[in-house]
Structure 1
Amino acid sequence: MNDPSHLARCAQLAMVLEVAAHPKPGNVDRDHDFPDTTFEHFLASAVGTYPVLEEAARSRTGAGALIHAAAEESLRWQRGGNTHFGAFVLLIPLLMAAGSKTQASKIVLDTTSEDAVEFYRAFSIANVRIDSVPDFDLGESNSADRILEDGVKLFDLMKLSADHDLIANEWVSGFERTNWCADMITKKADTMSINDAIVCTFLRMLAETPDTFIRTKFGRDKSIEVSERASEVIRGSMDLASIKSEVHEFDEQLIREKANPGSTADIIIGGLFVALVRGLRV
Protein backbone atom coordinates (compact mmCIF):
# COMPACT_ATOMS: atom_id res chain seq x y z
CA MET A 1 0.00 0.00 0.00
CA ASN A 2 1.43 3.40 -0.99
CA ASP A 3 -1.27 5.63 0.53
CA PRO A 4 0.63 8.63 2.01
CA SER A 5 -1.34 8.57 5.26
CA HIS A 6 -0.64 4.87 5.76
CA LEU A 7 3.06 5.31 5.02
CA ALA A 8 3.37 8.28 7.39
CA ARG A 9 1.80 6.23 10.17
CA CYS A 10 4.26 3.42 9.47
CA ALA A 11 7.07 5.94 9.98
CA GLN A 12 5.50 7.22 13.20
CA LEU A 13 5.01 3.72 14.56
CA ALA A 14 8.61 2.84 13.69
CA MET A 15 9.86 5.76 15.80
CA VAL A 16 7.53 4.90 18.68
CA LEU A 17 8.41 1.19 18.70
CA GLU A 18 12.13 1.93 18.65
CA VAL A 19 12.11 4.29 21.63
CA ALA A 20 9.73 2.04 23.58
CA ALA A 21 11.89 -1.07 23.14
CA HIS A 22 13.82 -1.98 26.29
CA PRO A 23 16.35 -2.63 27.64
CA LYS A 24 18.18 -0.92 24.77
CA PRO A 25 21.75 -0.30 25.96
CA GLY A 26 22.84 3.31 26.15
CA ASN A 27 19.77 4.96 24.67
CA VAL A 28 16.58 6.57 25.96
CA ASP A 29 13.80 4.02 26.35
CA ARG A 30 10.78 3.45 28.57
CA ASP A 31 13.12 2.56 31.48
CA HIS A 32 15.29 5.67 31.58
CA ASP A 33 15.77 9.20 30.25
CA PHE A 34 18.78 11.41 29.65
CA PRO A 35 19.12 14.57 31.76
CA ASP A 36 17.84 16.84 28.95
CA THR A 37 16.09 14.37 26.63
CA THR A 38 13.29 12.09 27.77
CA PHE A 39 11.11 9.27 26.52
CA GLU A 40 8.25 11.76 26.13
CA HIS A 41 10.38 14.02 23.91
CA PHE A 42 10.82 11.15 21.47
CA LEU A 43 7.08 10.41 21.50
CA ALA A 44 6.24 14.06 20.87
CA SER A 45 8.66 14.18 17.93
CA ALA A 46 7.21 11.01 16.39
CA VAL A 47 3.64 12.30 16.63
CA GLY A 48 4.30 15.96 15.82
CA THR A 49 6.14 15.36 12.55
CA TYR A 50 3.21 13.57 10.89
CA PRO A 51 2.46 16.35 8.32
CA VAL A 52 6.04 16.30 7.01
CA LEU A 53 6.12 12.51 6.89
CA GLU A 54 2.90 12.46 4.87
CA GLU A 55 4.22 15.16 2.55
CA ALA A 56 7.35 13.07 1.96
CA ALA A 57 5.21 10.10 0.97
CA ARG A 58 3.51 12.36 -1.62
CA SER A 59 6.80 13.70 -3.02
CA ARG A 60 9.30 12.55 -5.59
CA THR A 61 11.82 15.37 -5.13
CA GLY A 62 12.91 17.79 -2.42
CA ALA A 63 14.50 15.39 0.08
CA GLY A 64 16.71 18.09 1.60
CA ALA A 65 13.84 20.49 2.28
CA LEU A 66 11.76 17.67 3.75
CA ILE A 67 14.57 16.63 6.12
CA HIS A 68 14.90 20.28 7.14
CA ALA A 69 11.13 20.57 7.67
CA ALA A 70 11.02 17.37 9.75
CA ALA A 71 13.80 18.67 12.02
CA GLU A 72 11.95 21.97 12.47
CA GLU A 73 8.60 20.32 13.14
CA SER A 74 10.14 17.96 15.68
CA LEU A 75 11.48 20.91 17.68
CA ARG A 76 8.09 22.65 17.64
CA TRP A 77 6.62 19.82 19.70
CA GLN A 78 9.31 19.08 22.26
CA ARG A 79 12.17 20.71 24.18
CA GLY A 80 14.56 17.78 24.28
CA GLY A 81 16.68 18.82 21.31
CA ASN A 82 17.70 16.40 18.58
CA THR A 83 15.62 13.25 18.92
CA HIS A 84 15.26 11.92 15.39
CA PHE A 85 17.53 13.79 12.96
CA GLY A 86 19.35 10.67 11.76
CA ALA A 87 16.07 8.81 11.51
CA PHE A 88 14.62 11.59 9.34
CA VAL A 89 17.62 11.35 7.00
CA LEU A 90 16.66 7.71 6.46
CA LEU A 91 12.87 7.94 6.65
CA ILE A 92 12.38 10.83 4.22
CA PRO A 93 13.85 9.07 1.14
CA LEU A 94 12.28 5.77 2.22
CA LEU A 95 8.86 7.47 2.42
CA MET A 96 9.40 9.15 -0.93
CA ALA A 97 10.35 5.83 -2.49
CA ALA A 98 7.41 3.93 -1.00
CA GLY A 99 4.93 6.63 -1.99
CA SER A 100 6.11 6.84 -5.59
CA LYS A 101 6.88 3.13 -5.98
CA THR A 102 10.48 4.01 -6.77
CA GLN A 103 13.69 2.50 -5.46
CA ALA A 104 15.09 4.48 -2.53
CA SER A 105 18.50 4.33 -4.22
CA LYS A 106 17.00 6.22 -7.17
CA ILE A 107 15.47 8.86 -4.89
CA VAL A 108 18.80 9.67 -3.23
CA LEU A 109 20.77 9.53 -6.48
CA ASP A 110 18.44 12.16 -7.95
CA THR A 111 19.01 14.69 -5.15
CA THR A 112 20.28 18.16 -6.07
CA SER A 113 22.61 20.84 -4.75
CA GLU A 114 19.54 22.61 -3.37
CA ASP A 115 18.84 19.47 -1.33
CA ALA A 116 22.41 19.60 -0.04
CA VAL A 117 22.02 23.22 1.07
CA GLU A 118 18.74 22.46 2.86
CA PHE A 119 20.44 19.54 4.58
CA TYR A 120 23.24 21.81 5.79
CA ARG A 121 20.71 24.34 7.06
CA ALA A 122 18.97 21.62 9.04
CA PHE A 123 22.13 21.10 11.11
CA SER A 124 21.94 24.65 12.44
CA ILE A 125 18.57 23.92 14.08
CA ALA A 126 19.08 20.25 15.01
CA ASN A 127 22.42 20.77 16.79
CA VAL A 128 23.71 17.44 15.52
CA ARG A 129 27.14 16.13 16.48
CA ILE A 130 28.86 15.07 13.26
CA ASP A 131 32.26 14.93 11.56
CA SER A 132 32.49 17.50 8.78
CA VAL A 133 32.99 16.13 5.29
CA PRO A 134 36.15 16.98 3.31
CA ASP A 135 36.02 20.38 1.57
CA PHE A 136 32.65 21.32 3.12
CA ASP A 137 32.87 22.26 6.81
CA LEU A 138 29.45 22.34 8.44
CA GLY A 139 30.68 25.21 10.58
CA GLU A 140 31.64 27.45 7.65
CA SER A 141 29.02 29.96 6.57
CA ASN A 142 30.17 29.90 2.94
CA SER A 143 29.79 26.13 2.52
CA ALA A 144 26.24 26.52 1.16
CA ASP A 145 27.40 28.99 -1.50
CA ARG A 146 30.21 26.67 -2.53
CA ILE A 147 27.82 23.71 -2.78
CA LEU A 148 25.57 25.64 -5.17
CA GLU A 149 28.50 26.99 -7.18
CA ASP A 150 30.07 23.54 -7.57
CA GLY A 151 26.74 21.75 -8.15
CA VAL A 152 27.37 19.31 -5.32
CA LYS A 153 24.35 17.06 -4.75
CA LEU A 154 23.22 15.78 -1.37
CA PHE A 155 24.10 12.29 -2.57
CA ASP A 156 27.64 13.53 -3.27
CA LEU A 157 27.96 14.77 0.31
CA MET A 158 26.80 11.40 1.59
CA LYS A 159 29.45 9.65 -0.51
CA LEU A 160 32.12 11.81 1.12
CA SER A 161 30.98 10.61 4.57
CA ALA A 162 30.06 7.02 3.75
CA ASP A 163 33.31 5.48 5.01
CA HIS A 164 32.77 6.72 8.58
CA ASP A 165 29.07 7.56 8.94
CA LEU A 166 26.41 4.82 9.14
CA ILE A 167 23.55 7.00 7.93
CA ALA A 168 25.48 8.36 4.95
CA ASN A 169 26.57 4.81 4.13
CA GLU A 170 22.92 3.76 3.95
CA TRP A 171 22.31 6.32 1.20
CA VAL A 172 25.29 5.08 -0.77
CA SER A 173 24.77 1.34 -0.21
CA GLY A 174 21.11 1.21 -1.20
CA PHE A 175 19.95 1.11 2.45
CA GLU A 176 21.61 -2.25 2.95
CA ARG A 177 21.64 -2.29 6.76
CA THR A 178 18.13 -0.84 6.90
CA ASN A 179 16.80 -3.73 4.84
CA TRP A 180 18.85 -6.20 6.88
CA CYS A 181 17.23 -4.84 10.05
CA ALA A 182 13.77 -5.12 8.47
CA ASP A 183 14.38 -8.76 7.61
CA MET A 184 15.86 -9.56 11.03
CA ILE A 185 13.08 -7.89 13.02
CA THR A 186 10.40 -9.57 10.91
CA LYS A 187 12.00 -13.00 11.32
CA LYS A 188 12.48 -12.64 15.07
CA ALA A 189 8.95 -11.29 15.58
CA ASP A 190 7.64 -14.70 14.46
CA THR A 191 9.05 -16.32 17.60
CA MET A 192 9.24 -13.51 20.18
CA SER A 193 7.58 -10.23 21.14
CA ILE A 194 8.15 -7.18 18.96
CA ASN A 195 10.01 -5.60 21.88
CA ASP A 196 12.47 -8.49 22.10
CA ALA A 197 12.82 -8.67 18.32
CA ILE A 198 13.83 -5.00 18.23
CA VAL A 199 16.29 -5.26 21.13
CA CYS A 200 17.92 -8.43 19.76
CA THR A 201 18.31 -6.83 16.33
CA PHE A 202 19.70 -3.66 17.91
CA LEU A 203 22.31 -5.66 19.83
CA ARG A 204 23.25 -7.75 16.80
CA MET A 205 23.75 -4.70 14.63
CA LEU A 206 25.73 -2.88 17.32
CA ALA A 207 27.96 -5.94 17.70
CA GLU A 208 28.67 -6.04 13.98
CA THR A 209 28.90 -2.31 13.20
CA PRO A 210 30.60 0.34 15.39
CA ASP A 211 28.20 3.22 16.01
CA THR A 212 28.80 6.58 14.29
CA PHE A 213 27.43 8.68 17.15
CA ILE A 214 29.79 7.04 19.65
CA ARG A 215 32.72 7.40 17.24
CA THR A 216 32.01 11.10 16.73
CA LYS A 217 31.66 11.71 20.46
CA PHE A 218 34.49 9.54 21.82
CA GLY A 219 36.60 8.34 18.89
CA ARG A 220 36.97 5.22 16.77
CA ASP A 221 38.53 3.05 19.50
CA LYS A 222 35.60 3.61 21.85
CA SER A 223 33.05 2.72 19.16
CA ILE A 224 34.91 -0.54 18.49
CA GLU A 225 35.10 -1.28 22.23
CA VAL A 226 31.32 -0.87 22.56
CA SER A 227 30.72 -3.17 19.60
CA GLU A 228 33.03 -5.81 21.09
CA ARG A 229 31.14 -5.60 24.37
CA ALA A 230 27.83 -6.03 22.53
CA SER A 231 29.27 -9.09 20.80
CA GLU A 232 30.22 -10.59 24.16
CA VAL A 233 26.72 -9.97 25.53
CA ILE A 234 24.89 -11.73 22.70
CA ARG A 235 27.38 -14.57 22.13
CA GLY A 236 25.52 -17.88 21.96
CA SER A 237 22.14 -16.39 22.88
CA MET A 238 18.91 -17.48 21.21
CA ASP A 239 16.58 -14.93 22.81
CA LEU A 240 16.56 -11.85 25.01
CA ALA A 241 15.38 -13.64 28.15
CA SER A 242 18.56 -15.74 28.37
CA ILE A 243 20.86 -12.67 28.42
CA LYS A 244 18.64 -10.05 30.05
CA SER A 245 20.87 -9.55 33.11
CA GLU A 246 23.93 -9.04 30.88
CA VAL A 247 21.98 -6.60 28.71
CA HIS A 248 20.95 -4.58 31.77
CA GLU A 249 24.59 -4.45 32.93
CA PHE A 250 25.69 -3.33 29.46
CA ASP A 251 22.96 -0.69 29.47
CA GLU A 252 24.05 0.67 32.87
CA GLN A 253 27.67 0.79 31.70
CA LEU A 254 26.87 2.81 28.58
CA ILE A 255 24.57 5.15 30.49
CA ARG A 256 27.36 5.85 33.02
CA GLU A 257 29.79 6.52 30.18
CA LYS A 258 27.21 8.60 28.24
CA ALA A 259 27.97 6.42 25.21
CA ASN A 260 24.66 6.19 23.40
CA PRO A 261 24.49 4.25 20.09
CA GLY A 262 22.20 6.78 18.41
CA SER A 263 23.03 5.91 14.81
CA THR A 264 22.24 2.24 15.45
CA ALA A 265 18.84 3.30 16.79
CA ASP A 266 18.22 5.40 13.66
CA ILE A 267 18.81 2.42 11.39
CA ILE A 268 16.52 0.29 13.55
CA ILE A 269 13.83 2.92 12.91
CA GLY A 270 14.45 2.69 9.18
CA GLY A 271 14.27 -1.10 9.35
CA LEU A 272 11.04 -1.01 11.33
CA PHE A 273 9.52 1.34 8.76
CA VAL A 274 10.41 -1.00 5.90
CA ALA A 275 9.08 -4.01 7.84
CA LEU A 276 5.81 -2.23 8.68
CA VAL A 277 5.29 -1.18 5.06
CA ARG A 278 5.82 -4.81 4.05
CA GLY A 279 3.12 -5.90 6.49
CA LEU A 280 4.71 -6.45 9.91
CA ARG A 281 2.11 -5.98 12.66
CA VAL A 282 2.67 -5.60 16.38
Structure 2
Amino acid sequence: MSGFETSAAVEASFLAACRAELAAIKPGNVHIHAPGHAMDAATFECAALAAAPIIADPARPIGRRILDATRASFGAAGCNANLGIVLLTAPLARAFETSPDPSPEALREALASVLAGFTPQDAADVFAAIAHASPGGLGEDDTHDVRMAPTIPLLEAMRLSADKDLIARQYVTGFADIFEIGLPALQNTSAPICDHPALGPAFAIYLTYATRFPDSHIGRKFGEARAEAVRERFAAFAAPIPATADTDSVAADAFRFDAELKAEGVNPGTSADLTVATLFVIDLLQPAFFPHHLRNRPRDD
Protein backbone atom coordinates (compact mmCIF):
# COMPACT_ATOMS: atom_id res chain seq x y z
CA MET A 1 0.00 0.00 0.00
CA SER A 2 1.44 3.37 -1.01
CA GLY A 3 1.72 6.29 1.40
CA PHE A 4 -1.24 7.98 -0.26
CA GLU A 5 -3.33 4.80 -0.07
CA THR A 6 -2.39 4.32 3.59
CA SER A 7 -3.37 7.88 4.45
CA ALA A 8 -6.68 7.50 2.59
CA ALA A 9 -7.35 4.22 4.42
CA VAL A 10 -6.66 5.79 7.81
CA GLU A 11 -8.92 8.76 7.09
CA ALA A 12 -11.73 6.52 5.80
CA SER A 13 -11.44 4.19 8.79
CA PHE A 14 -11.44 7.08 11.24
CA LEU A 15 -14.65 8.48 9.76
CA ALA A 16 -16.23 5.02 9.52
CA ALA A 17 -15.46 4.35 13.18
CA CYS A 18 -16.86 7.69 14.32
CA ARG A 19 -20.02 7.23 12.27
CA ALA A 20 -20.56 3.61 13.31
CA GLU A 21 -20.29 4.68 16.95
CA LEU A 22 -22.81 7.47 16.39
CA ALA A 23 -25.20 5.08 14.63
CA ALA A 24 -25.65 2.87 17.70
CA ILE A 25 -27.78 3.45 20.77
CA LYS A 26 -25.23 4.01 23.52
CA PRO A 27 -27.07 4.54 26.81
CA GLY A 28 -26.08 7.91 28.28
CA ASN A 29 -23.98 8.97 25.29
CA VAL A 30 -24.91 10.99 22.19
CA HIS A 31 -25.99 9.07 19.08
CA ILE A 32 -28.09 9.70 15.98
CA HIS A 33 -31.22 8.42 17.70
CA ALA A 34 -31.16 10.93 20.56
CA PRO A 35 -29.13 14.01 21.57
CA GLY A 36 -27.85 14.59 25.06
CA HIS A 37 -25.76 16.80 27.31
CA ALA A 38 -26.44 19.86 25.10
CA MET A 39 -24.96 18.07 22.06
CA ASP A 40 -26.26 16.06 19.13
CA ALA A 41 -24.83 13.78 16.47
CA ALA A 42 -24.04 16.72 14.19
CA THR A 43 -21.63 18.03 16.83
CA PHE A 44 -19.59 14.87 16.61
CA GLU A 45 -19.87 14.60 12.84
CA CYS A 46 -18.38 18.09 12.50
CA ALA A 47 -15.58 17.21 14.90
CA ALA A 48 -14.83 13.95 13.07
CA LEU A 49 -14.69 15.61 9.66
CA ALA A 50 -12.28 18.24 10.99
CA ALA A 51 -10.00 15.73 12.70
CA ALA A 52 -9.91 12.95 10.09
CA PRO A 53 -7.37 14.36 7.59
CA ILE A 54 -5.09 15.45 10.42
CA ILE A 55 -5.12 12.07 12.15
CA ALA A 56 -4.29 10.53 8.76
CA ASP A 57 -1.42 12.91 7.92
CA PRO A 58 1.84 10.91 8.05
CA ALA A 59 3.90 14.10 7.79
CA ARG A 60 2.85 15.22 11.26
CA PRO A 61 4.36 13.74 14.41
CA ILE A 62 1.84 12.14 16.75
CA GLY A 63 1.80 14.99 19.23
CA ARG A 64 1.22 17.48 16.46
CA ARG A 65 -1.61 15.40 15.03
CA ILE A 66 -3.26 15.36 18.46
CA LEU A 67 -2.87 19.09 18.99
CA ASP A 68 -3.94 20.12 15.49
CA ALA A 69 -6.87 17.68 15.40
CA THR A 70 -8.06 18.88 18.81
CA ARG A 71 -7.92 22.52 17.75
CA ALA A 72 -9.64 21.79 14.43
CA SER A 73 -12.36 19.73 16.12
CA PHE A 74 -12.96 22.36 18.78
CA GLY A 75 -13.20 25.03 16.11
CA ALA A 76 -15.65 23.01 14.03
CA ALA A 77 -17.86 21.75 16.86
CA GLY A 78 -17.55 24.65 19.28
CA CYS A 79 -16.76 22.33 22.18
CA ASN A 80 -14.54 19.45 23.25
CA ALA A 81 -16.25 16.72 21.25
CA ASN A 82 -13.47 14.21 20.59
CA LEU A 83 -10.29 14.76 22.64
CA GLY A 84 -10.35 11.17 23.90
CA ILE A 85 -10.90 9.81 20.39
CA VAL A 86 -8.00 11.87 19.06
CA LEU A 87 -5.68 10.78 21.87
CA LEU A 88 -6.46 7.13 21.14
CA THR A 89 -6.52 7.10 17.35
CA ALA A 90 -3.41 9.15 16.58
CA PRO A 91 -0.95 6.53 17.92
CA LEU A 92 -2.98 3.76 16.27
CA ALA A 93 -2.87 5.60 12.95
CA ARG A 94 0.90 5.94 13.14
CA ALA A 95 1.23 2.26 14.06
CA PHE A 96 -0.85 1.27 11.03
CA GLU A 97 1.38 3.39 8.80
CA THR A 98 4.46 1.50 10.02
CA SER A 99 2.95 -1.99 10.46
CA PRO A 100 4.38 -4.60 8.07
CA ASP A 101 1.06 -6.41 7.63
CA PRO A 102 -2.60 -5.84 8.52
CA SER A 103 -2.97 -8.14 11.51
CA PRO A 104 -3.79 -7.40 15.15
CA GLU A 105 -0.45 -8.83 16.22
CA ALA A 106 1.57 -6.73 13.79
CA LEU A 107 -0.41 -3.59 14.60
CA ARG A 108 0.11 -4.12 18.32
CA GLU A 109 3.85 -4.63 17.85
CA ALA A 110 4.11 -1.48 15.74
CA LEU A 111 2.11 0.43 18.35
CA ALA A 112 4.58 -0.58 21.07
CA SER A 113 7.37 1.05 19.05
CA VAL A 114 5.26 4.16 18.49
CA LEU A 115 4.53 4.54 22.20
CA ALA A 116 8.19 4.05 23.08
CA GLY A 117 9.23 6.77 20.64
CA PHE A 118 7.46 9.84 22.03
CA THR A 119 9.64 12.95 22.05
CA PRO A 120 9.60 15.94 24.40
CA GLN A 121 7.84 17.88 21.64
CA ASP A 122 5.14 15.19 21.48
CA ALA A 123 4.63 15.61 25.21
CA ALA A 124 4.37 19.39 24.89
CA ASP A 125 1.85 19.10 22.07
CA VAL A 126 -0.28 16.52 23.89
CA PHE A 127 -0.31 18.65 27.06
CA ALA A 128 -1.31 21.65 24.95
CA ALA A 129 -4.11 19.67 23.28
CA ILE A 130 -5.53 18.54 26.62
CA ALA A 131 -5.32 22.04 28.02
CA HIS A 132 -7.01 23.46 24.92
CA ALA A 133 -9.90 21.02 25.16
CA SER A 134 -10.34 20.81 28.92
CA PRO A 135 -7.86 22.58 31.24
CA GLY A 136 -7.05 20.56 34.34
CA GLY A 137 -8.37 17.30 32.88
CA LEU A 138 -6.39 14.27 31.84
CA GLY A 139 -2.76 14.56 32.93
CA GLU A 140 -3.35 16.84 35.90
CA ASP A 141 -1.35 15.99 39.02
CA ASP A 142 -0.17 17.83 42.09
CA THR A 143 3.18 18.45 40.42
CA HIS A 144 2.40 17.97 36.70
CA ASP A 145 -0.57 19.90 35.32
CA VAL A 146 -1.41 19.96 31.61
CA ARG A 147 -1.78 23.74 31.77
CA MET A 148 1.99 23.97 32.28
CA ALA A 149 4.84 22.83 30.06
CA PRO A 150 5.68 19.16 30.71
CA THR A 151 8.74 18.43 32.80
CA ILE A 152 8.50 14.63 32.48
CA PRO A 153 8.14 12.25 29.48
CA LEU A 154 4.67 11.73 28.08
CA LEU A 155 4.34 8.11 29.16
CA GLU A 156 5.38 9.02 32.69
CA ALA A 157 2.72 11.73 32.76
CA MET A 158 0.15 9.23 31.51
CA ARG A 159 1.26 6.75 34.14
CA LEU A 160 0.39 9.29 36.85
CA SER A 161 -3.21 9.28 35.61
CA ALA A 162 -3.54 5.66 34.51
CA ASP A 163 -5.21 4.45 37.70
CA LYS A 164 -8.09 6.90 37.26
CA ASP A 165 -8.24 7.55 33.53
CA LEU A 166 -8.78 4.76 31.00
CA ILE A 167 -7.28 6.72 28.11
CA ALA A 168 -4.05 7.32 30.00
CA ARG A 169 -4.11 3.63 30.89
CA GLN A 170 -4.00 2.71 27.20
CA TYR A 171 -0.78 4.64 26.72
CA VAL A 172 1.01 2.77 29.51
CA THR A 173 -0.40 -0.70 28.72
CA GLY A 174 0.11 -0.67 24.96
CA PHE A 175 -3.65 -0.22 24.40
CA ALA A 176 -4.21 -3.60 26.04
CA ASP A 177 -7.91 -2.96 26.64
CA ILE A 178 -8.50 -2.29 22.94
CA PHE A 179 -6.82 -5.50 21.81
CA GLU A 180 -7.75 -7.80 24.69
CA ILE A 181 -11.26 -6.61 25.57
CA GLY A 182 -12.68 -4.52 22.71
CA LEU A 183 -11.74 -6.74 19.76
CA PRO A 184 -12.85 -10.02 21.42
CA ALA A 185 -16.12 -8.34 22.42
CA LEU A 186 -17.01 -7.89 18.77
CA GLN A 187 -15.95 -11.38 17.79
CA ASN A 188 -18.14 -12.82 20.54
CA THR A 189 -21.24 -10.80 19.68
CA SER A 190 -24.15 -12.48 17.92
CA ALA A 191 -24.94 -11.62 14.32
CA PRO A 192 -28.50 -10.40 15.17
CA ILE A 193 -27.08 -7.73 17.50
CA CYS A 194 -24.42 -6.75 14.96
CA ASP A 195 -27.01 -6.55 12.18
CA HIS A 196 -29.62 -4.52 14.07
CA PRO A 197 -29.69 -0.98 12.62
CA ALA A 198 -29.88 0.75 16.02
CA LEU A 199 -27.45 -1.57 17.81
CA GLY A 200 -24.62 -3.04 15.77
CA PRO A 201 -20.96 -3.58 16.62
CA ALA A 202 -20.66 -0.27 18.45
CA PHE A 203 -23.45 -1.19 20.88
CA ALA A 204 -21.76 -4.47 21.76
CA ILE A 205 -18.33 -2.92 22.24
CA TYR A 206 -19.67 0.05 24.20
CA LEU A 207 -21.54 -2.23 26.61
CA THR A 208 -18.42 -4.31 27.11
CA TYR A 209 -16.40 -1.30 28.23
CA ALA A 210 -19.24 0.23 30.26
CA THR A 211 -19.80 -3.00 32.16
CA ARG A 212 -16.11 -3.76 32.65
CA PHE A 213 -14.81 -0.38 33.89
CA PRO A 214 -16.12 2.54 35.93
CA ASP A 215 -16.20 5.25 33.28
CA SER A 216 -13.45 7.86 33.67
CA HIS A 217 -15.61 10.73 32.44
CA ILE A 218 -18.30 9.93 35.00
CA GLY A 219 -15.63 9.56 37.68
CA ARG A 220 -14.18 13.00 36.99
CA LYS A 221 -17.61 14.63 37.09
CA PHE A 222 -19.37 12.70 39.87
CA GLY A 223 -16.67 10.76 41.71
CA GLU A 224 -15.46 7.18 41.65
CA ALA A 225 -18.34 5.79 43.74
CA ARG A 226 -20.92 7.11 41.25
CA ALA A 227 -18.89 5.75 38.33
CA GLU A 228 -18.85 2.31 39.92
CA ALA A 229 -22.60 2.50 40.61
CA VAL A 230 -23.24 3.30 36.93
CA ARG A 231 -21.00 0.40 35.91
CA GLU A 232 -23.13 -1.91 38.04
CA ARG A 233 -26.28 -0.59 36.37
CA PHE A 234 -24.75 -1.30 32.97
CA ALA A 235 -23.88 -4.82 34.08
CA ALA A 236 -27.47 -5.42 35.18
CA PHE A 237 -28.77 -4.00 31.89
CA ALA A 238 -26.41 -6.11 29.76
CA ALA A 239 -26.74 -9.41 31.62
CA PRO A 240 -29.91 -10.72 29.92
CA ILE A 241 -29.00 -9.60 26.39
CA PRO A 242 -27.13 -12.75 25.24
CA ALA A 243 -30.22 -14.87 25.98
CA THR A 244 -32.64 -12.42 24.31
CA ALA A 245 -33.68 -13.38 20.79
CA ASP A 246 -35.78 -10.25 20.23
CA THR A 247 -33.25 -7.57 19.34
CA ASP A 248 -36.00 -4.98 18.96
CA SER A 249 -36.78 -5.40 22.66
CA VAL A 250 -33.06 -4.94 23.41
CA ALA A 251 -33.14 -1.69 21.47
CA ALA A 252 -36.29 -0.54 23.29
CA ASP A 253 -34.69 -1.26 26.66
CA ALA A 254 -31.55 0.56 25.53
CA PHE A 255 -33.61 3.64 24.63
CA ARG A 256 -35.19 3.63 28.09
CA PHE A 257 -31.82 3.26 29.81
CA ASP A 258 -30.40 5.99 27.57
CA ALA A 259 -33.13 8.45 28.57
CA GLU A 260 -32.69 7.58 32.24
CA LEU A 261 -28.96 8.26 32.26
CA LYS A 262 -29.26 11.46 30.25
CA ALA A 263 -31.92 12.76 32.63
CA GLU A 264 -29.35 12.31 35.40
CA GLY A 265 -26.62 14.07 33.37
CA VAL A 266 -24.58 10.87 33.27
CA ASN A 267 -22.40 10.41 30.17
CA PRO A 268 -20.07 7.37 29.83
CA GLY A 269 -17.90 9.35 27.43
CA THR A 270 -14.72 7.37 27.94
CA SER A 271 -16.51 4.13 27.09
CA ALA A 272 -17.61 5.81 23.86
CA ASP A 273 -14.03 6.94 23.11
CA LEU A 274 -12.72 3.41 23.61
CA THR A 275 -15.49 2.15 21.34
CA VAL A 276 -14.41 4.45 18.52
CA ALA A 277 -10.78 3.39 18.91
CA THR A 278 -11.78 -0.27 18.77
CA LEU A 279 -13.93 0.27 15.68
CA PHE A 280 -11.01 2.17 14.12
CA VAL A 281 -8.75 -0.86 14.55
CA ILE A 282 -11.44 -3.19 13.23
CA ASP A 283 -12.03 -1.06 10.15
CA LEU A 284 -8.31 -0.77 9.45
CA LEU A 285 -7.86 -4.55 9.63
CA GLN A 286 -11.09 -5.78 8.02
CA PRO A 287 -12.15 -7.77 6.10
CA ALA A 288 -9.41 -10.29 6.78
CA PHE A 289 -10.00 -10.45 10.54
CA PHE A 290 -13.57 -9.20 10.99
CA PRO A 291 -15.30 -10.32 7.79
CA HIS A 292 -19.01 -10.11 8.63
CA HIS A 293 -19.31 -7.89 11.68
CA LEU A 294 -19.12 -4.61 9.77
CA ARG A 295 -21.70 -5.29 7.10
CA ASN A 296 -23.85 -2.38 8.20
CA ARG A 297 -21.16 0.08 9.17
CA PRO A 298 -21.83 3.60 7.83
CA ARG A 299 -19.09 4.83 5.53
CA ASP A 300 -18.60 6.68 2.30
CA ASP A 301 -16.88 4.05 0.15
TM-score class normalised by the smaller sequence: 0.7 to 0.9
Q: Offset of 1:35 from its aligned partner? A: 5.3
Residue 209 (structure 1) aligns with? 213
Residue 40 (structure 2) aligns with? 38
Query: Does the aligned pair in 1 maintain the 2:37–2:265 contact within 8 Å?
Result: no
* Structure 1 gaps, min length 5: none
Mapped partners of 2:211, 2:185: distance in 1: 14
Residue 276 (structure 1) aligns with? 283
Q: Structure 1, residues 108-148: CA drift from partner, whole Å, max 9, x if none?
A: 12112221111121123213672523411234xxx30xx3x
- When the two structures are superposed, what TM-score results if normalisation uses the length of structure 2? 0.82
Residue 135 (structure 1) aligns with? 143
Between 1:170-179 and 1:225-234, the stretch displaced more is 170-179
Query: Does the aligned pair in 2 maintain the 1:62–1:111 contact within 8 Å?
Result: no
The residue type paired with residue 136 of structure 1 is H
The residue type paired with residue 33 of structure 1 is P
Mapped partners of 2:44, 2:234: distance in 1: 24
Distance 1:248 1:50, change over 3 A: closer
The residue type paired with residue 48 of structure 1 is A
Q: Offset of 1:92 from its aligned partner? A: 0.1
Distance 1:272 1:121, change over 3 A: same
The residue type paired with residue 165 of structure 1 is D
Q: Does 1:118 find its partner at 2:121?
A: no
Between 1:113-122 and 1:87-96, the stretch displaced more is 113-122
Runs of 4+ in 1 over 6 A off after TM superposition: none
Q: Does 1:74 find its partner at 2:73?
A: yes
Between 1:231-240 and 1:167-176, the stretch displaced more is 231-240
Residue 235 (structure 1) aligns with? 239
Q: Offset of 1:249 from its aligned partner? A: 2.6
Q: Offset of 1:189 from its aligned partner? A: 6.6
Q: Offset of 1:253 from its aligned partner? A: 1.7
3-state DSSP of counterpart to 2:241: coil
* Structure 2 gaps, min length 5: 100-108
Q: Structure 1, residues 237-256: CA drift from partner, whole Å, max 9, x if none?
A: 21554533432232122101
3-state DSSP of counterpart to 1:103: helix
Residue 12 (structure 1) aligns with? 15
Give the root-mean-square deviation of aligned CA atoms: 2.1
- When the two structures are superposed, what TM-score results if normalisation uses the length of structure 1? 0.88
The residue type paired with residue 49 of structure 2 is V
Query: Does the aligned pair in 2 maintain the 1:233–1:243 contact within 8 Å?
Result: no
Aligned to 1:89, which of 69, 73, 87?
Answer: 87
Q: Structure 1, residues 57-94: CA drift from partner, whole Å, max 9, x if none?
A: x25x7222210011011123222x01110010000000
Aligned length: 269
Distance 1:51 1:237, change over 3 A: closer
3-state DSSP of counterpart to 2:34: coil
Mapped partners of 2:52, 2:231: distance in 1: 33
Mapped partners of 2:7, 2:280: distance in 1: 13
Query: Does the aligned pair in 2 maintain the 1:41–1:78 contact within 8 Å?
Result: yes
Q: Structure 1, residues 150-207: CA drift from partner, whole Å, max 9, x if none?
A: 4x22111111111111001011111111122133224437453173332122112211
